Amino acid sequence: MNTVSINEKEMIKITESILGMAIKYSEYIHIFTAYYPHTHELTVYVYPANSNYSDILENKGGARLYDNNVYLGKERCVSNLRDMYLEITNLVEDILPEVINEGEGDEK
């Protein structure tokens, strides 16, 4: 029987929440997530939704709004994941009012 500790449950919950934001808000902000099993690392980086990825690949601009990683097996990983989640949430909240304001004139 495989048991999961409370910290592991919280780690998984926060990680799933970050992925959920990536899916839910993909029209407004691009949240990229990657898990590397060989290092037990979660990497997250964020770009504006209107990014020109060709320019980014050619190093012509398009700075990331956020870029961080957490090693999930480390002592402070839950705390670091919480910080990551809050920073991404703040980015989403900064962008959503712009999206809401753009749509206000569309209703008739």
Global pTM value = 0.79
DSSP 83-101: HHHHHHHHHHHHHHHHHHH
Contacts of 7 (CB under 8 A, 6+ apart): 77, 78
User: Quick check: 32 and 18 in contact, CB under 8 A?
Assistant: no
The rounded distance, in Å, linking the Cα atoms of 91 and 84 is 11
Per-residue pLDDT of the chain (108 residues; tens, 9 = 90+): 455 576 889 999 999 999 999 999 999 999 999 999 999 999 999 999 888 777 676 666 667 899 999 999 888 999 999 999 999 999 999 988 766 555 454 443
